[in-house]
Chain A
Amino acid sequence: MIGKPISRVDGPEKVTGQAKYAAEFNVPDLTYGVVVSSTITKGTITRIDTSKALALDGVLEVFTHKNRPKTAWFDMSYKDQDSPPGSPFRPLHNDQVKYNGQPIALVVAETFEVARYAATLVEIDYDPEPCETDLLKHLHEARDPKSGVANLFKPLPPKPRGDSAAAYANAPVSMSARYIHGMQHHNPMEMFATTVEYGRNGHLTIYDKTQGATNSQLYVTQAFNLSFDQVRVISPYVGGGFGSGLRPQYQLFLAVMAARALERSVRVSLTRQQMWSFGHRPATVQNIRLAANADGTLAAVEHEAIAETSQFEDYTETVVNWTGKLYDCANSTLSYKVKSLDMYSPLDMRAPGGVTGVHAIECAIDELAYNAGIDPLDFRFKNYSEKDWTEKDKPFSSKELRACFTQGAERFGWSNRTPEPRSMRRGHTLIGWGMATGIWDANQVPARAEAVLTVNGKLRVSSATADIGTGTYTIMTQIAAELLGMPLENVIFRLGDTDMPLAPIQGGSWTAATVGSAVKVTCEALAKKLFKLARKMPGSPLASADFTDVFFANSHIRLRRDPSVAVPLQAIVDQNGGRAISETGTSLPNMLKQKDYSRSAHAAAFVEVEVDEDFGTVVVTRAVSAVAAGRILNPKTARSQIIGGMVWGISSALQEESVMDHRYGRYMNQNLAEYHIPVCADVRDLDVIFVEEVDDIVNPLGVKGVGEVGLVAMPAAIANAVFHATGKRIHDLPIQLDRLL
């Protein structure tokens, strides 16, 4: 089962509308909350008049900072599994406005329509203060970020080594450039929503849009001083996450607050416009200086990043360390700084930091290769790194990037490229070929799972993880089916419920490794238990066998030396008095094994663009991504992940940006008509290669996540292709047509 291109097991439910999302759970006597958002960026609320709203029939309450129920006192209580260092934002906390779009009031009514209308009747006066939201104006004020638990998986840069400035000055070939990208917002199809079912004795059943049911539960229990058994969070389906659900968003807080105050069930859904009122990919400015020796080996590397954060938290990303992981240069200086601005804290967004930093370094490497007169692919072979100096010169647990380069180039036809810019054209159309490297972490964290052989001989496995559309349901079903030798249709995997065994937030491309390992150890433990029971059955043909003598296939335990000697799993349940047999298990990363290695997935992207010479419009006509990500559990869902990443790469490179009017600190294109991401017509011929990679260090399954690595290489590959087509180095993203006129 593992390694087979199985179609999504949750596919039929999704396409027939049976899959329910957070705002679709209909509970009796539901009330509806609508959020009123601030229209200023910074200042004080001097007056809120809710009388007109309250006068409407059907309005139950308007919550503001003045009348909100008491919640936890300490900052600590508002932290979640993904909180950066600092003081988390508290909705309706006081009269201070800290960012534009901040929730100012929650109107709760018997119907959604009344709540929405009432929300327009809430009158708010502000005493506004000047706001600062433009990173480019404040680069000189950048500072070192506070570090915290978050940096465990998002390390800050290592200390410089060698003397990059001197090496840069003395080298024969060099380049330097500044790279800027603006803000982006996740914008999953499903808007953030929470349905809180208010139960007996105030028990809360919460249907939340989240990438971690356990994270939402933790947050609610802390912020509202509740015990874990008073709060159950359920989130079986997530209509896209991309990182936006890694932290509990404010609709969760507001819905719980209102439900408890009114002792009613409450649903709060955000609007598309309000999807711009919490985390984003931070605007980042990067300066890079590179130098090479005459033979094309790197002599100096300097990569500096300055990113924005909020006034209340130091959100950080790993932006520059990738440069050190990819290029082992003796004279390297990596630096990362932040600047606090009047905005909400940025938030992990697919390949956070990676897509930012790798875009810059891979464009810079392309430019340096050109300056050295070396083919960009050859230049990367010449500077191929076998160890990770950012992690004390550890070797990689596995790194088949060379195979990615070779196989990707072969499939793409890279050898037919003419190196001179503007050397390939069709009529008005300039053609360019570019390539770049991608890299992403291969982490594993602790998780738990439960496996049950049910009374009717089926296997039910569960863990409180999430499936944000990535294929978690499917690959976990495959792993369980393989280990217990059962057909897929007899295996059910469940997730997204805090009554299930603990799993961490689904992010960082670690779920396949993390939950997969938990499912593996748990199913292995169940297998042993079943074997023991099978042996004890009266007249068991396996009575004298050891566990190593048997295997599981076709829902039987079979003897290896004679598979016809077997015990059906159903018989074990029957013998067990018709009772289900269950086992729980915990998987922990094997630190002893992992500690001496740097662990990453790698990729290479090759891209063809067509650029209209007169209009500057860019189309990615074809792209090949070759990916080394350990064992591929399901080539079909994995391919979808890489394709999705590649499409996002097109988006990042050419289209996507949240534009803020810094005079107001307000986003101007907060809807999906004006916030551009690729449409079908923008997505042409995309091809994915998974190269063979064996890794028994990363985790027991040998898998590395594929959720992010498919995106990382694309923006630079596209920008490099645009250079090859036009001769213009466009350092800033997105490369909209006016930059090429």
Chain B
Amino acid sequence: MNPFAYSRPASLADTVNELAGSSRSRIIAGGTNLIDLMKENVERPAQLIDINRLPFSTIDELPDGGLRLGALVTNADTAYHPLVEQRYPLLSQTILAGASPQLRNMATNGGNLFQRTRCYYFYDTSMPCNKRAATNNGPGGCAAYGGYNRIHAILGTTDDTNGQSSCVATYPSDMAVALTALDAVVQVTGPNGDRSIPMADFHRLPGAEPWRDNTTQPGEVVTAIDLPTRGFPDHYTYIKVRDRSSYAFALVSVAVGLEMDGDVVRDARIALGGVAHKPWRKSEAEQLLIGKTLSPETIRPVADALLAGARGYGHNDFKIELAHRAIIRAVLKSGLDNGAVE
């Protein structure tokens, strides 16, 4: 761990100024991921900017009927908030499928969006990793590409035959999978003012810049996450398939929200976690469900469309079939009963 400066700006404007001032500044809120990364020398910030006293710790109703989740509200407080439980049970249940109670008590909504991959090679600074190499922290290349990649991505990866410019990391959040399905919008403030980023555009695929996890610009601070009116409270499911019953990251997860007209699907949202560098959604796949009654046969083409182009890297080959099965189960479950988490 390196020596670092610590500051606690009094305002959002000061925060943005300090953050924009140095590329080696990091915001700290709950610290549940950043501190681990610092202990392992993956993150070596010169400055920690503590934003815990900024006024983003509330959940408020929006005029259009949506809900604004403050960036500093903890995951636990969000999951157990009455309005979230009532209107967005998918989000509530998804948050509770993640981490452990201790972590959820500390972790914030904003921080959740910035948690970094669990790729083993990313965490080990002696290993080749294109995510780290950009910050002069260890050798370049992608050790996961030809290595132990059981937890790695099957969609949207960057790969080449020798792994030199590859990145097959996943983004590990559960919460973000539900936020993506719900069409949430992230509110940020930066040196150039405020802007809104739809969840689908917030995280990014590795492309040629695998070190960039998301589309925020230098100096930008997440202040809130807005949920639109539609929360799919009647038909939803989050299925998280993992190696133990709790405190394990998803190998594959599926968040589903449906609107039903009797037996017929009127609207559908399906997002996958654990399979890509961002929560994975394809509206053309969702369209295939509209107007259909639910059965494995009607859902199968949807799963095929969502997983089109998926490829394994050896240890994670099983994820393609597992994701397929999880999608079918989750959609069926959302339609048949009022949903729940598995």
Contact = CB atoms under 8 A, between A and B. Distances in A.
Tell me, yes or no, whether A binds B.
yes
Interface of A: 39, 113, 116-117, 120, 271, 273, 428, 614-617, 619, 654-655, 659, 661, 663-664, 666, 668-669, 671, 673-674, 676, 678-682, 736-738, 741
A615 B326 contact: yes
A668 B147 CA distance: 10
B246 A661 contact: no
B246 A737 contact: no
Interface in B125-181: 126-127, 143, 146-148, 150
B118 interface: yes
Contact of A668 (B1, B3, B124, B251): B124
Question: Which residue among B120, B150, B244 has the maximum number of chain A CB atoms within 10 Å of its CB?
Answer: B244
A664 B127 contact: yes
B195 interface: no
Contacts of A673: 118, 247, 249
B40 interface: yes
Contacts of A674: 118, 120
A674 B39 CA distance: 16
A737 B321 CA distance: 12
A316 to B, nearest CB: 28
Contact of B251 (A117, A271, A273, A737): A737
Interface residues of B, number: 35
Nearest to A617: B241
A671 B39 CA distance: 12
Contact of A117 (B3, B143, B150): B3
B241 A679 contact: no
A39 B126 contact: yes
B2 interface: yes
Nearest to A39: B126
A113 B39 CA distance: 11
Interface string B241-274: 1111111110100000000000000000000000
Contacts, number: 80
Contact of B244 (A39, A614, A668, A682): A682
Contact of A676 (B118, B244, B322): B244
B40 A661 contact: no
B245 A666 contact: no
Interface string B1-18: 111000000000000000
A654 B245 CA distance: 12
Contacts of B242: 617
Contact of B246 (A116, A655, A669, A681): A681
A660 to B, nearest CB: 8
21 contacts: A428-B329, A614-B326, A615-B326, A615-B329, A617-B241, A654-B244, A655-B244, A659-B120, A663-B146, A664-B143, A666-B127, A668-B124, A673-B247, A674-B120, A679-B245, A681-B245, A737-B243, A737-B318, A738-B150, A738-B322, A741-B318
B41 A120 contact: yes
Contacts of A681: 244-246
B24 interface: no
Contacts of B3: 117
B127 A619 contact: no
A616 to B, nearest CB: 8
Contacts of A736: 243
Contacts of A671: 123
A679 B244 CA distance: 8
Contacts of A669: 120
A616 B251 CA distance: 12
Contacts of B251: 737
Interface string B61-90: 000000000000000000000000000000
B126 A666 contact: yes
B121 interface: yes
A682 B126 CA distance: 34
B212 interface: no
Contacts of A619: 245
